[in-house]
């Protein structure tokens, strides 16, 4: 079946990126990478893209295919071509383009380095550690990461703040924090809870949704947050926000926004929120700052809290 490929190309010497179309004869089982190779070996050898293992394990060929990040090597063409009649291929978003489909991965690797990406064992001399199945399992998913960059490409927080640590490096960080052999857990959590750290994730779930290896970066981020609170790393807006939410619901059964603002930001920084509060007041959206009624059925809320507490004590 002849299939039209629309490829987003850029030449460092030309100012604007442009679309180029190719027609490729597609057979059953052919992948997008096969098509790119076919184009570069025949029609157009100037087309640049990264590739290596072609079996979905080296992480070289993540591209935006029909609008979403995918590994070119494990994406079959026929199922998508039947649906959309053409296949568009673009470089990964949230990354600077170098040429054609090749993007600059330097910021990606720099983020990895920021999380101290190696084990700092609690006991350097120990020969073989006894590792229980559940310990192995705790970090198994994060360890499946192949560093293809798909998650960072669809991360909404990274889109807004290029300094955000991002899902890929967070998954890497959890791989160490969650390792029973690690000796510097708390120090790691303190750094990860700082500015541009794991609390900046807005939990849009894109990273987990588009991960081609089921590494579930969001799960790693959530585990890091929970572990940070568990270890008492709470002197930061993210942890404070969560704790005040828990507290607010415990007290009144719903969000007490004014109190939460104070608890999250502290007194001085809350003053800075006054203009925003006034705007809300004009639109009738500001909850009463002092009179704040608990919901009916607080009894049920209390029950939930004590049940959770019991379960936590049991571990």
Residue 174 binds other proteins, judged by CB under 8 A? no
Count of residues of this chain found to bind other proteins when the rule CB under 8 A is applied: 55
Among the listed residues 56, 63, 92, 168, the single contact to other proteins using CB under 8 A: 56
Output 99 or 196, the one with its CB closest to other proteins: 99
Per-residue interface string for the shown chain with other proteins, residues 291-310, x marking contact by CB under 8 A = --------------------
48 is a contact residue toward other proteins (CB under 8 A): yes
Q: How many CB atoms lie within 10 A of CB 90?
A: 20
Position 16 contacts other proteins (CB under 8 A) = no
Q: Is 90 in the site for other proteins (CB under 8 A)?
A: no
Could you say whether residue 131 binds other proteins (CB under 8 A)? Answer: yes
Contact in structure between 160 and 99 (CB atoms under 8 Å): no
Nearer to other proteins, 10 or 248 (CB): 10
Kindly state the smallest distance separating residue 309's Cβ from other proteins, in Å.
31
Kindly state whether residue 179 participates in binding other proteins, applying the rule CB under 8 A: yes
Q: Which of 4, 20, 121, 190 binds other proteins (CB under 8 A)?
A: 121
Buried b (16+ CB within 10 A) or exposed e, 255-274: ebbbbbbbbbbeeeeeeeee
Among 20, 40, 236, 270, binds other proteins (CB under 8 A): 40
In our burial notation (b when 16+ CB lie closer than 10 A, e otherwise), range 176-206 reads: bbbbeebebbeebbbbbbeebbbbbbeeeeb
Nearer to other proteins, 54 or 191 (CB): 54
Q: How many Å apart are CA 206 and CA 26, to the nearest integer?
A: 30
Piece in contact with other proteins (CB under 8 A), picked from 46-54, 199-207, 251-259, 273-281: 46-54
- Rounded Cα distance between 275 and 188, Å, is 36
- Say whether residue 130 binds other proteins (CB under 8 A): yes
The candidate with the shortest Cα–Cα distance to 292, out of 259, 244, 263, 266, is: 259
Distance CA 110, CA 112 (A): 5
25 binds other proteins (CB under 8 A): no
Give least dist CB 48 to other proteins, A.
5
Tell me whether residue 144 or residue 251 sits nearer to other proteins (CB atom): 144
Segment contacting other proteins by CB under 8 A, of 136-144, 194-202, 256-264, 297-305: 136-144
Give least dist CB 174 to other proteins, A. Answer: 13
* Binds other proteins by CB under 8 A, chosen from 1, 53, 298, 308: 53
Q: How far apart are CA 142 and CA 10, in angstroms?
A: 34
Among 124, 235, 299, 311, binds other proteins (CB under 8 A): 124
- Beta-bridged to residue 22, according to DSSP, are 5
Residue 147 interacts with other proteins (CB under 8 A): yes or no? yes
d(CA 280, CA 110): 40
Give the interface with other proteins as residue ranges (CB under 8 A). Answer: 11-13, 29, 40-42, 44-46, 48-60, 74, 76, 98-100, 102, 105, 109, 112-113, 117-119, 121, 124, 126-133, 136, 139, 143-144, 146-147, 176, 179, 181
């Amino acid at each position: 079946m002849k299939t039209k490929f629309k490829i987003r190309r850029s030449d460092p010497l030309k100012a604007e990126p442009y679309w180029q179309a190719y027609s490729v004869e597609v057979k059953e089982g052919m992948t997008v990478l096969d098509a790119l190779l076919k184009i570069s070996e025949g029609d157009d050898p100037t087309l640049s893209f990264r590739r290596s293992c072609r079996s979905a394990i080296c992480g070289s060929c993540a591209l935006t295919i029909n609008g979403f990040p995918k590994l070119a090597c494990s994406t079959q063409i026929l199922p998508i071509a039947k649906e959309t009649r053409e296949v568009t291929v673009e470089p990964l978003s949230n990354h600077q383009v170098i040429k054609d489909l090749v993007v600059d991965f330097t910021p990606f690797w720099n983020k990895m380095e920021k999380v101290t990406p190696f084990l700092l064992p609690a006991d350097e001399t120990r020969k073989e550690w006894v590792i229980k199945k559940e310990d192995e399992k705790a970090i198994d998913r994060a360890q499946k990461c192949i560093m293809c960059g798909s998650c960072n490409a669809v991360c909404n927080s990274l889109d807004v703040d290029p300094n955000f640590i991002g899902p890929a490096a967070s998954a890497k960080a959890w791989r160490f924090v969650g390792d029973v052999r690690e000796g510097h857990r708390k120090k790691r959590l303190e750094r990860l809870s700082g500015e541009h750290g794991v609390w900046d994730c807005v939990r849009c779930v894109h990273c987990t949704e588009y991960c081609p290896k089921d590494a579930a970066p969001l799960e790693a981020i959530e585990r890091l947050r929970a572990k940070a609170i568990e270890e008492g790393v709470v002197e930061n807006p993210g942890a404070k926000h969560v704790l005040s939410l828990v507290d607010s619901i415990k007290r009144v059964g719903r969000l007490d926004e004014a109190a939460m603002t104070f608890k999250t930001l502290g007194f001085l920084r809350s003053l800075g929120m006054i203009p925003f509060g006034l705007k809300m007041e004009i639109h009738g959206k500001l909850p009463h700052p002092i009179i704040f009624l608990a919901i009916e059925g607080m009894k049920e809320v209390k029950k939930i809290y004590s049940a959770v507490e019991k379960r936590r004590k049991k571990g």
